[in-house]
């Protein structure tokens, strides 16, 4: 085996395979659930509440972080997967019995999102422990694998919805959670990690406060925070609105709607690659272009024909992921390294709250004045980053000139 490929061990490939199966099932679920809610309610508000409920798992991140720090990764991984398998199996079971109510969907959506957040946190601990000599390449490989599942999941989900309907697709998601557990003997996820119980610990909230104070004491980072909150609001609220428009306004089939969302996965992949392709462009200018792309995408969704919706989703995904990459680079350049972790955690906390509020607010607007009115509101929100970051750029130019 050549030296360049020596990090691709059988242990990593098996771990990546289990992760791939699991995230493919999650991607299928992410497409099927809004469609199922629309099937049961024909309400854009109910679809938006489902998305907001899923985002609400961010409120439990302190508990999840404590569990990951203090529990054996192998034990926690097994519990998280079996927990999600049990909950995800409840959905098709109740649906088949005609007992699946909207309240039950909201509750199960939140609980499943808690499990998914726990798994992401576990992976941040497990990957360095399992693949210490090539942890960066392992993380990059798993990220690339995840991006592929955001394209493959909607494709398979569309096929399943067309051939078998909701119930079989949701059962497949349930089974996908078992793959990492079945592969444990070969992946050899560590049984225990060094105990942290006797280590002095500062509360999660204290770290978040320190990071938030660092972000808000500088005009540039404050504007950056508000800009990314605006983009996160747009990204969080647009999917249920787009689904509602495709089903309610244009009457497209479930399978066709599912396949359209493949474009969002492709857009995410493109968005993560653009900074490397446009490396001669300053990071701030790049962020401005990405914010502009979000506005263009939203305007496409307002077109009177259905192709405007997938075009808008593609452009919006490129813009949001590109802006997220630019955000990381700008934070690294403007925040001291000793405070970067806390500042980044604060950023995620604030934008996570925006992801809860935005679908609820836009669901109310859609219910009162129509889905396209909500898209217009989001387009206005998407202009905020452009105005703020241009202002920051101009201030920086004046400062350097003086």
pTM recorded for the entire structure: 0.81
Sequence-distant (6+) residues with CB within 8 A of 256 are: 158, 246
pLDDT at 311: 94
Per-residue pLDDT tens over the stretch 33-72: 989 999 999 998 999 999 899 888 877 766 776 677 677 8
Average per-residue pLDDT in the chain? 83
pLDDT at 8: 75
DSSP state of 5: G
Q: List the one residue out of 321, 296, 323 whose CA is nearest residue 308.
A: 296
Question: Considering only CA atoms, which of 67, 344, 337 is closest in space to residue 207?
Answer: 344
Cα–Cα distance for residue pair 382/75, rounded to 1 Å: 43
- Average the pLDDT over 9-16 and give the result: 90
Predicted confidence (pLDDT) at residue 3 exceeds the cutoff of 50:
no
Instruction: For residue range 328-337, list pLDDT tens digits in order.
Output: 778 777 777 6
Looking at the chain, the whole-number percentage of residues with pLDDT higher than 90 is: 36
Q: Comparing 133 with 109, which gets the higher pLDDT?
A: 109
**Would you say residue 399 has pLDDT above 50?**
no
Q: Render pLDDT for 119-143 as a digit per residue (tens, 0 to 9).
A: 877 887 788 788 877 777 787 788 7
State pLDDT tens for residues 374-393: 999 999 999 998 888 787 65
For residue 204, the model assigns a pLDDT of: 55
* Distance from chain centroid for Cα 285: 24
Short-list 278, 279, 270, 318, CA closest to 298: 318
Q: What is the mean pLDDT of the segment spanning 288-315?
A: 93
């Amino acid at each position: 085996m050549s030296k360049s490929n020596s990090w691709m061990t059988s242990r990593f490939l098996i771990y990546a395979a289990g992760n791939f199966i699991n995230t493919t099932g999650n991607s299928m679920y992410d497409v099927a659930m809004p469609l199922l809610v629309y099937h049961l309610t024909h309400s854009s508000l109910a679809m938006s509440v489902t998305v907001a409920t899923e985002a609400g798992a961010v409120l439990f991140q302190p508990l999840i972080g404590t569990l990951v720090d203090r529990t054996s990764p192998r034990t926690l991984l097994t519990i998280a997967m079996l927990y999600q398998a049990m909950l995800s199996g409840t959905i098709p079971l109740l649906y088949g019995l005609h007992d699946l109510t909207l309240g039950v969907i909201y509750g199960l959506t939140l609980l499943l999102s808690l499990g998914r957040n726990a798994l992401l946190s576990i992976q941040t601990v497990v990957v360095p422990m399992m693949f210490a000599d090539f942890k960066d390449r392992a993380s990059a490989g798993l990220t690339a694998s995840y991006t592929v599942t955001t394209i493959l999941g909607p494709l398979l989900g569309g096929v399943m919805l067309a051939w078998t309907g909701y119930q079989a697709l949701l059962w497949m998601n349930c089974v996908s959670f078992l793959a990492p557990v079945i592969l444990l003997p070969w992946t050899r996820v560590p049984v225990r990690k060094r105990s942290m119980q006797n280590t002095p610990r500062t509360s999660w909230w204290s770290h978040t406060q320190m990071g938030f104070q660092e972000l808000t004491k500088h005009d540039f980072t404050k504007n950056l925070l508000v800009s990314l909150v605006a983009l996160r609001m747009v990204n969080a609220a647009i999917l249920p609105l787009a689904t509602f428009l495709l089903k309610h306004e244009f009457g497209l089939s479930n399978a066709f709607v599912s396949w359209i969302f493949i474009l969002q996965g492709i857009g995410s992949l493109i968005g993560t690659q653009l900074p490397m392709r446009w490396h001669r462009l300053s990071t701030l200018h790049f962020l401005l272009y990405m914010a502009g792309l979000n506005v263009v995408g939203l305007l496409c969704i307002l077109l009177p024909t259905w192709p405007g919706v997938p075009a808008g989703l593609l452009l919006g995904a490129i813009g949001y992921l590109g802006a997220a990459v630019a955000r990381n680079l700008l934070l690294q350049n403007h925040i001291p390294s000793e405070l970067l972790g806390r500042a980044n955690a604060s950023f995620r906390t604030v934008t996570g709250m925006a992801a809860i509020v935005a679908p609820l607010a836009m669901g109310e607007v859609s219910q009162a004045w129509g889905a396209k009115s909500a898209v217009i509101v989001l387009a206005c929100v998407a202009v905020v980053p452009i105005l703020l970051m241009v202002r920051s750029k101009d201030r920086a130019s004046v400062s350097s000139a003086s």
